Amino acid sequence: MGDTASASVPGGRCQVLVIGGGPAGSTIAARLAQKGREVVLLEKARHPRFHIGESLLPMNLPLFAELGVADAIAQIGIPKYGAEFTIPEAPDAPRTYYFERALNPDTPSAAYEVRRSEFDHLLLENSRRLGVHVLEETHVIDVRLADPARGGTQQVTARTADGETLAFEADFVVDASGRDTFLARRLELKERNAEHNSAAIFGHFDAVPRRPGRDAGNISIYWFRHGWIWMIPLRDGAMSVGAVCFPEYLKTRNCPPEDFLWQTLELCPPAFARMQGARLASPVNATGNFSYRASTAHGPGYLLVGDAFAFVDPVFSSGVYIAMSGAFRGADAVDRCLDDPARAPRYLRAFERDVRRGVRRFSWLIYRFNSPVMRRLFMAPSNALRMEQGVISLLAGDVYRTTRAQWSMLAFQAAYYAHVALTLPASIRFWLRRRRNARVRFTGGTTPEDEA
């Protein structure tokens, strides 16, 4: 790696330093290495480590192929052909959206459910295979930024698990620190999302029945009064089970997390019925999933990717895809910045515009997911103007391209607002509850703020 850091002499000079070894960090590091860049990645934990968020999207698959990990992901994952939705009003009539019905013919027809400990470890090791110098159990404690266009370099200080202090000099720094939001906090860029807020409680269970046949790997989502419940099958027979709730509900917890999760499941009869005979196979964790974003995703000499830039809500399994697709775009931007520092602001603005477009398209649906109108539209979809297929395209992760699916989603949005007008009192009550919960603070958890 030339004069960059080596395994025998940690610390030193590199072109790009990446903070965080989750999907965003591992992906952008790998892509930059594929472009011939000298990259150092600093990860605070030791992989494999636990992380929630096991459900991937079909649009992840082309990214896996580009990284050279498609076959390896297939070995650790279980195929996911669609997403099943159930409402309390019709517990025996679930609705499954199959990805094969997406509007654009090049959309993959399946995704995977994975254990994130295995998935994240695989991506990190792949970046190492491609030439990234990876240092685990190395915590970044300071970053001093300078404008590369004026000849400046980025100074990064880190500390290892045994207390050794390391000093790095890089042309560019990428913050992929996940919900740690290292640079966004230091630069005072982080902002709470005034439109949305949620909290979660979750664990892994054994002996939870799966759907028959090829639906065995599909995610199941159950609406209930305080939010929604997920069930995600994993290859080893376990089932990831959790509830994403309004924070005001999770703040009422006055018992151990395990008991509260069972109490929450009992509030949703179809989900609770499926859990009869289930055995808890992991600790139950509660976490405050505050929605947030940074006011900007870039500046001279630095870039924010994945959850280090924005976190919305896991309802459509969008987190890993947003992280990885943003990392691909970020790698292109950083590569161009290194070649032409004078035009760096233009490249970085284009990167942020693209990332915000995808987050915005997911967010519109996420903010309204728990509304009575959205439940009704999901459970009795119309394919007039191909609206149902437009929703499926979004569920598959097709949110960055401007295609006919975007026009179908505009028609779906118009239908949503028309139904809101017809059910105005109930819609206003939901809006008021959502606004109230956006201001609730819930710190909740026993889950570490891992990278995403």
DSSP per residue, 195-250:
T--EEEEEEEEESPPPPSGGGGG-EEEEEETTEEEEEEE-TTS-EEEEEEE-HHHH
What tokens were used for 268?
Answer: 């949703």
Judge if the upstream peptide bond of residue 48 is cis by omega within 30 degrees of 0: yes
Q: pLDDT digits over 425-438, tens only?
A: 999 999 999 889 88
pTM: 0.93
Find the angle CA(216)-CA(203)-CA(283) to the nearest 5 degrees. Answer: 140
Instruction: Judge contact between 334 and 16, C-beta under 8 A.
Output: yes
Q: pLDDT digits over 104-140, tens only?
A: 999 999 999 999 999 999 999 999 999 999 999 999 9
Nearest-angstrom CA–CA distance, 128 and 122: 10
The yes-or-no verdict on residue 6 having pLDDT over 70 is no
Give the pLDDT score at 39.
Answer: 98
Grade residue 315 by pLDDT with cuts at 50, 70 and 90. confident
**Across the strands, what pairs with 78?**
113
Measure CA 77 to chain center: 17
Q: pLDDT digits over 331-370, tens only?
A: 999 999 999 999 999 999 999 999 999 999 999 999 999 9
> What is the number of other CB atoms lying within 10 angstroms of the CB of residue 402?
8
Burial of 5 (0-12, 13-18, 19+ CB in 10 A): buried
Backbone angles phi, psi at 32, to 5 degrees: -70, -35
Strand 165-175 with 285-289, pairing? unpaired
Nearest-angstrom CA–CA distance, 154 and 16: 9
What tokens were used for 380?
Answer: 């009795």
Query: Domain 12-56+58-66+116-192+291-358, what architecture?
Result: 3-Layer(bba) Sandwich (3.50)
Nearest-angstrom CA–CA distance, 316 and 54: 11
Q: pLDDT digits over 171-184, tens only?
A: 999 999 999 999 99
The yes-or-no verdict on residue 290 having pLDDT over 80 is no
The single residue listed with the structure tokens 């990885």 is 324
Percent of residues, the chain, with pLDDT higher than 90: 83
Largest CA distance in the chain: 68
What tokens were used for 305?
Answer: 């990717």
Name the residue with higher pLDDT: 452 or 129: 129
What tokens were used for 168?
Answer: 């790095």
Nearest-angstrom CA–CA distance, 351 and 332: 9
Find the angle CA(274)-CA(110)-CA(75) to the nearest 5 degrees. Answer: 85
Tell how many helices (H) and how many strands (E) occur in the chain: 14, 21
